[in-house]
Amino acid sequence: MGTAERLIKNTFFLYTKMAITMFVAFLTTRIVLNALGKSDFGLFNVVGGAIALLGFLNVSMASTTQRFMNISEGEGNAEKQKTVFNVGLIIHFGLALLVGVVLFCLGFFFFNGGLNIPEGRTTAALIVYASLILSTMFTIMSVPYDAMLNAHENMKYYAVVGIIESFLRLGAALCASHTSHDKLIIYGILMAIIPICSLSIMRIYCHKHYAECLFHPKKYWSTSMMKDELSFASWNLLTAMSMGGAMYGMGLVANHFWGVLVNAAQGIATQVGGAVSHFSESAMKALNPVIVKSEGAGDRQRLIYTTMLGCRVSFTIFAFFSIPIIIEMPLILRLWLENVPEWAIIFCRLQLALFCSMQLINSIATTIYAEGHIRNYAIYKSIANLLPLALAVVLFLQGFPPYYMYILEIICWFGLGCGIVLFFAHQLVAFSVKAYLQQVILPVGTLLLIILPVLYTLYRATFSIPFPYEKLCILLCYAAIYAVLGYHIILKKEERMAIKKAINKRFKKRIQ
């Protein structure tokens, strides 16, 4: 199967997963918010954020294991893949135990003045915290299996697991909403069971279908490989922890200055931003293995080309969905949630603006990680990650409103982060800033300069159609115009030809 056809096929599976999980996620959030109420929903988010503080270890180690697995796949070295898998299993089992102990110890700080917990809800918060510790440990142990699916670009089964997880979360929400016991406690415990199910499903599948997925640590053990993975992971962890610390720290700062209701608005913004980001992440999930495998095969030209493509495509897809959502945010939240928390609308809009801008540099960061020498990049990126937290404290002390924390994140994470990413990509893989401006910034800028006035004109036009069909008519016109412009402006001629060829090939197979 050719690269273009494989990318289209994998993207189809991922978008199918995304469409289902996004619908279920929005439904789940509505059920949970109504079942728990604003206060307990905010409490769940602030306690869950404490777990996410070290849960970023999972993100760090996942990208590390996937990087080494994809590099060995690109090299065509099956024995090395077995070694990477066995070393990864041992490391992640030890890491899961370490995270469990650390989170347990941090609980003494969080529940002795560290968190602003409403009176009478401390016991419930403790049970939720303990449940989420268990959840995090099993999530960490599933990373090597996730990396194995990623290395083989098996997005079909990855999508199946994701869909199962989303329905399990919906089931947990329904159980919590109908229980006569403490709803927050029941929801927290049920959410802890889901990673155990996911780990079991992936483990059975991988051991059955992949020869290199063989647990034999005595035979396939390499101390040098362990050192390489731990060294890479330590710097990757610095970046991940700084981002996790900044995000959770921002929640703590907001909690201190404004209380749990602002945390509820943050939770809604995170849900909206995360749901929309699935659209671009689905495309990048298919592209990222190609980027890393290109480095493993020593094909820098393909590496840089795929990186540029990833920047263009992920931004274009994210902007397609986020622009109308930003405009219609009050209506969307009113229809979605019966009780819209204060600040939720502005938080959601700024969160989407942040995520949209980050699409322009995320693929470049993948390229830096593929190359492997990330020490200096990790240090500078971590400083940029933590900077908004320090600045937010200063602004809040001066009486600035809470939405300034998102403005600071846009300035530091995208503005400053863009300069850092481009500098190190140029240093490590000869990534051309001039080519980036020509092949990424120019086409996406052109697209925005055309589509925004068009969308403004559509909204200003008078439609003699009753609500909500007027909105639907505007969105359909916008989608059609955006799709045509994106296809011709964002994609190069050879990319359009590859897509046509792959689609025609699949269509002929269907007819035969």
Q: Which residues contact 268 (CB under 8 A, 6 or more apart)?
A: 29, 33, 333, 337, 340, 341, 344, 347, 348
Token digits for 497?
A: 């030809």
Query: What is the model's pLDDT at position 117?
Result: 67
Among residues 472, 501, 490, the alpha carbon closest in space to that of 331 is found at: 472
Query: What is the model's pLDDT at position 350?
Result: 92
**CA 433 – CA 195 distance, rounded (Å):** 41
Residue ranges per domain, the chain? Answer: 40-256
Query: What is the model's pLDDT at position 195?
Result: 82
**CA 170 – CA 180 distance, rounded (Å):** 18
**CA 59 – CA 61 distance, rounded (Å):** 6
**CA 183 – CA 124 distance, rounded (Å):** 9
Among residues 261, 254, 238, 234, the alpha carbon closest in space to that of 389 is found at: 254
Query: Model-level pTM?
Result: 0.74
CB 318 within 8 A of CB 356: yes
Query: What is the model's pLDDT at position 133?
Result: 80
Exposed (0-12), middle (13-18) or buried (19+): which is 224, by Cβ within 10 Å?
exposed
Q: DSSP secondary structure string, 484-498?
A: HHHHHHTS-HHHHHH
**CA 246 – CA 32 distance, rounded (Å):** 26
Exposed (0-12), middle (13-18) or buried (19+): which is 432, by Cβ within 10 Å?
middle
Query: What is the model's pLDDT at position 150?
Result: 76
Query: What is the model's pLDDT at position 342?
Result: 80
**CA 335 – CA 447 distance, rounded (Å):** 30
Query: What is the model's pLDDT at position 379?
Result: 94
H/E segment holding residue 115: none
Q: DSSP secondary structure string, 264-332?
A: HHHHHHHHHHHHHHHHHHHHHHHHHHHHHHHHHTT-HHHHHHHHHHHHHHHHHHHHHHHHHHHHTHHHH
Exposed (0-12), middle (13-18) or buried (19+): which is 27, by Cβ within 10 Å?
middle
Query: What is the model's pLDDT at position 100?
Result: 82
Among residues 221, 224, 335, the alpha carbon closest in space to that of 272 is found at: 335
CB 56 within 8 A of CB 244: yes
Query: What is the model's pLDDT at position 211?
Result: 78
Residue type, 52: A
Q: Say which residue the tokens 């780990």 belong to.
A: 199
Exposed (0-12), middle (13-18) or buried (19+): which is 397, by Cβ within 10 Å?
exposed
Q: Say which residue the tokens 């016109």 belong to.
A: 477
> What is the pLDDT tens value at each position of the chain, 512 positions in all?
455 556 666 767 777 777 787 777 777 777 777 777 766 666 666 666 555 555 555 566 667 777 887 787 777 777 777 888 888 888 888 888 887 888 788 777 766 766 666 677 777 778 877 887 888 788 888 888 887 887 777 778 878 888 888 888 888 888 877 877 777 788 778 888 888 888 888 888 888 888 778 777 777 777 887 888 788 878 887 887 788 778 778 888 888 887 777 888 888 888 787 777 766 666 677 777 788 878 877 888 888 988 898 889 889 988 998 899 898 888 888 887 777 888 888 999 999 999 889 989 988 988 998 888 889 999 999 999 999 999 999 998 988 888 898 999 999 999 999 999 999 999 999 999 999 999 999 999 999 999 999 988 888 775 566 666 778 888 889 999 999 999 999 988 888 887 777 677 766 665 55
